[in-house]
Structure 1
Amino acid sequence: MTRDAAFADLLDRSYAALLGRPLVPAGQDKTPWLYDAPSALLAHDTSADPLFTYANRAAQRLFGYDWDEFVGLPSRLSAGDEDRGSRQEFLDTVARQGYAEHYRGRRVAKDGRVFWIEDVTLWNLTRDDGSPAGQAALIRRWS
């Protein structure tokens, strides 16, 4: 996945279908808006050990990775060992119902700094043919 229009459409369409509201404000060009959004936005694929496929600029700043470092990184590494259980429970909820909101959890930056992500929405990404394309997370606050 890249920073292209097709992926921006996938993020927006999947979010709107599950949550009943648009991810991107009306009248905005999806691709640049998502990449430059004030909230951190991440996506990972469907592999057994999911790999990040997308990280907007806010996510890159928050976690301390640039695009090339982020894309391909196992998403489990965004949480410390002690926090991976709660992260997996959240992922499992999304796998069952398609999305979950209001998550709060600890995460780890590239430099080892630990921080809280708050008011997180996680949703399944679904291609036009109905096949799964991964999951995306919108992180509205962090501390």
Structure 2
Amino acid sequence: MAPVQNDISIRQISDCFHQLAGRPLYAPPGISDVYRWLHEEAPYAILAHNAEADPCFIYANNYALSCFKYSPDEILSVHSRLSASAQDRPQRAAMLEIVVRDGIVYNYSGPRVDKFGNSFMIYDGAVWQLRSAAGEIWGQAALFWTEKDRRPEWY
């Protein structure tokens, strides 16, 4: 499956995470192409949205697509606020404001909704600012798990 992106690469998203977190995105040791693995095989979701007033998704890895039930093309037209139900959007918006202030948030959990309105939980999320080398904010990215306590041994 081709990367789901809008001129955005998983490498750019990962580089921003590494800069803020001080470590790369989680991957098992010995992977020869970490970026391909993050897009195609990671057992957690990675998403990004742009910096518009009502941001749309600009990237989703395969795991994120399976969670939200959108096709690669569909997700690029989805406003990211629609990933949460109307009642959960204020909590999501408050968390995103903390990301703007602090650059990164860890341990975020909460309900989300897929394309069909079905609810699912996300756990242990990290959300971070996407910045250019010049410091210009071009979006925010997130990673999350869909199982509360189940992680690979390399995590």
TM-score, normalised on structure 1? 0.91
1:51 counterpart residue number: 56
1:138 counterpart residue number: 143
SS of corresponding position for 2:115: coil
Structure 1 residue 142: Cα displacement? 4.1
Unaligned residue ranges in structure 1 (runs of 5+): none
* In structure 1, C-alpha distance between the alignment counterparts of 2:139 and 2:49, rounded to whole Å: 6
Pairing partner for 1:98 from 97, 103, 117 = 103
How big is each residue's C-alpha offset from its partner over 1:6-65, in whole Å with a ceiling of 9 and x where there is no partner? 622211111011111111546542431221211111000000000000011101110110
CA RMSD of superposed structures (Å): 1.9
Pairing partner for 2:89 from 79, 84, 101 = 84
2:5 pairs with 1:2 = yes
* In structure 2, C-alpha distance between the alignment counterparts of 1:141 and 1:62, rounded to whole Å: 8
Structure with the larger helix share: 1
When residues 72 and 3 of structure 1 are mapped into structure 2, their CA distance, relative to the original with a 3 A threshold, is closer
When residues 71 and 3 of structure 1 are mapped into structure 2, their CA distance, relative to the original with a 3 A threshold, is closer
Note the 1:19-38 alignment, pairs <5 A: 19-23=21-25, 25=27, 28-36=32-40, 37-38=42-43
How big is each residue's C-alpha offset from its partner over 1:56-107, in whole Å with a ceiling of 9 and x where there is no partner? 1101110110110101210000000000000001101100000000001111
* In structure 2, C-alpha distance between the alignment counterparts of 1:52 and 1:35, rounded to whole Å: 15
Asked if the contact 2:6–2:58 (Cα under 8 Å) also holds between the matched residues in 1, the reply is no
Name the count of aligned residue pairs: 142
Percent of matched pairs sharing the same residue = 39
Structure 1 residue 130: Cα displacement? 1.7
Moved more, 35-44 or 20-29: 20-29
When residues 57 and 90 of structure 1 are mapped into structure 2, their CA distance, relative to the original with a 3 A threshold, is same
2:80 counterpart residue number: 75
1:17 counterpart residue number: 19
Unaligned residue ranges in structure 2 (runs of 5+): 149-155
Asked if the contact 2:13–2:130 (Cα under 8 Å) also holds between the matched residues in 1, the reply is yes
